[in-house]
Structure 1
Amino acid sequence: MSDELLFEVTDHVARVTLNRPKALNSISHELDVELARTWDTIDADPDIWVAVLRAVGEKAFCAGADISGGTEADASRLALGGGLTGIGGPLRVLKKPLIAAVQGYALGGGFELAMCADIIVAADNAKFGLPEVKAGIIGECGVMHRAIRQLPHHVALALVLTGERLPASDALSYGLVNEVVPYAELDEAAMRWAAKLTAASPLAQQAAKHAVLKGLQGSLEVALATKYEPIEAYANSDDVKEGRAAFTERRAPQWTGR
């Protein structure tokens, strides 16, 4: 793990930290590769139940791709964000719940990286934006397609077409983020959400996340008629047995994630 990406696990929560504050935590090819390896580790480790993505420095969560270095060949090997965004490579969906703790600028690919999370906690100084048109740049930009799905239609199009930034307070009112807190309380708020998540069965959460996202790919009728493999597998897990035992014995369940 390089100094540009910090990783630690405590109480079933993995904290993944972008550490390039001088570059506004923009994502270089090297950082992309590190992120991909980190998502592999998180998904493969049954003792990691939740991931929190955050960044060092008050000024920016992530300003998108770092276009100052690397080659076009480098950029083509992996989707931005270690695969999470699907920009420039195959889309990767993290199995575990992902919380994004966003402060300052979340621009372009950085905005999209935040939208890849399942829960977004924003500092009151956060600003979300799609600056491409102001720079005269446009391409197969996945962030537009996510924005139009996660924000009201006219709000998203206004962001796309003007390049203006959305402040945290407006992002909260539009349902883009789950909570807005002072910057000094951002990490505490993210960990509070992580604690809420680790109180539930991790396998049930993973099965639910898979089903919800898979179901969104088709009509409601198809979603209702589909059987989801992680849900089927969960029926035979230790966690489902523990949930039943805890209910019968009127005690808090002790999940193992197995």
Structure 2
Amino acid sequence: MGEFCTIERDGHLLTVTINRPAAMNALHPPANFELHDAFDAFAADPDLWVAIITGAGDRAFSTGNDLVFQAKGGAIEIPPSGFGGLTNRFDLTKPVIAAVNGFAMGGGFEIALACDLIVASENAVFALPEPRVGLAALAGGMHRLPRQIGQKAAMGMLLTGRRVPAAEGKDLGFVNEVVPEGEALAGARRWAEMILECAPSSIRATKESAMRGLEQPGLEAAMMGNYPEVGRLFMSKNFREGPRAFAEKRKPVWTGD
């Protein structure tokens, strides 16, 4: 447990909770660096296969950069892995799920967009309001949002800073599931359990291929790309265990290799 975030391990699942509820889980440099360390440890641990990030309390997932801290003269410092330790973490092949409870504003929304799945409670609200305070969504929001929901829908949010409720977020396509208020974390755990039923080597290969493939100019280039996790998949114990378990009509026993 850190000062500004809490860590919970449950088998192969890691849950990271931003723990600044009095500040609506806004992040200042010490919190950003704690999250950086938490996700560094997640990336390096072969026994951790999926992570969930959420916010303490029911008012906010995260309202982004701590503007009060900044207004008082606090320095803006971001770790190499980006805001919340996630927005610049382009080499992470393990899945991360955002459990959004309440406001996900500015950098908080950018953390959620950097995750692979978003599960939102009915009271969740998303926005990139930086232009309204003379700033810009520089932690990936301006680039991830158009890629995830299309140009026109994204520009409608980016150029106005308007607030989007969870139901509209699902309609737009950046929210995977809307759950009753107070159940975002439980919903995220359900998705995590479904992922954990799959071979972790297959999940890593799938995420890497899908994300890196989007960088290619066309379908053929994406399919012919070189993805290291795919090579590791063929060498893994799981590559043999899966077919064997299917033939023996039993549940596979996956390893983290």
Please tell me the TM-score bracket, short chain as reference: over 0.9
SS at match of 1:120: strand
Contact 1:32 1:78 in 2 (8 A): no
Task: After superposing the two structures, state which structure 1 stretch, 138-147 or 199-208, moved more.
Answer: 138-147
Paired residue for 2:4?
A: 4
- Give the alignment's TM-score, normalised by structure 2: 0.92
Moved more, 202-211 or 134-143: 134-143
> Could you tell me which amino acid in structure 1 is paired with residue 84 of structure 2?
G
Equivalenced residue count is: 252
Q: Deviations over 1:114-153 (max 9, x none)?
A: 0111111000001110111222323745211111111232
Q: TM-score, normalised by structure 1?
A: 0.92
Specify whether residues 56 and 76 from structure 1 end up closer, same or farther in structure 2 by C-alpha distance, changes over 3 A only.
closer
Structure 2 residue runs without a partner (length 5+):
none
Alpha-carbon deviations, 1:44-95, whole Å to 9, x = none?
Answer: 11111110001111111011112415324x347662111x213xxxx44422
Q: 1:236 to 1:76 in 2, by over 3 A?
A: closer
Where do 1:1-258 residues align within 5 Å? 1-67=1-67, 68-69=69-70, 70-72=74-76, 74-75=77-78, 79-82=82-85, 84-86=86-88, 91-138=89-136, 140=138, 142-219=140-217, 220-258=219-257
CA distance in structure 2 between the partners assigned to 1:18 and 1:141 by the alignment: 17
AA paired with 2:190? Answer: R
Asked if the contact 1:7–1:15 (Cα under 8 Å) also holds between the matched residues in 2, the reply is yes
Structure 1 distance, partners of 2:103, 2:13, is 25
Distance apart, 1:218 and its partner CA: 1.1
What's the RMSD between the two structures over aligned residues?
Answer: 1.6
CA 1:25 to 1:248, structure 2 compared with 1: closer, same or farther past 3 Å? Answer: same
Q: Structure 1: any 5+ residue segments left out of the alignment?
A: none
Partners of 2:139 and 2:226 in 1: how far apart? Answer: 32
* Native 8 Å contact 1:8 1:14 kept in 2: yes
Shift of 1:113: 0.4
The answer on whether the counterparts of 2:33 and 2:79 sit within 8 Å (CA) in structure 1 is no
Percent sequence identity over aligned pairs: 40
Displacement after TM superposition at 1:27 (Å): 1.3
Deviation at 1:8, TM superposition (A): 1.1
Separation (CA, whole Å) in 1 of partners of 2:246 and 2:170: 36
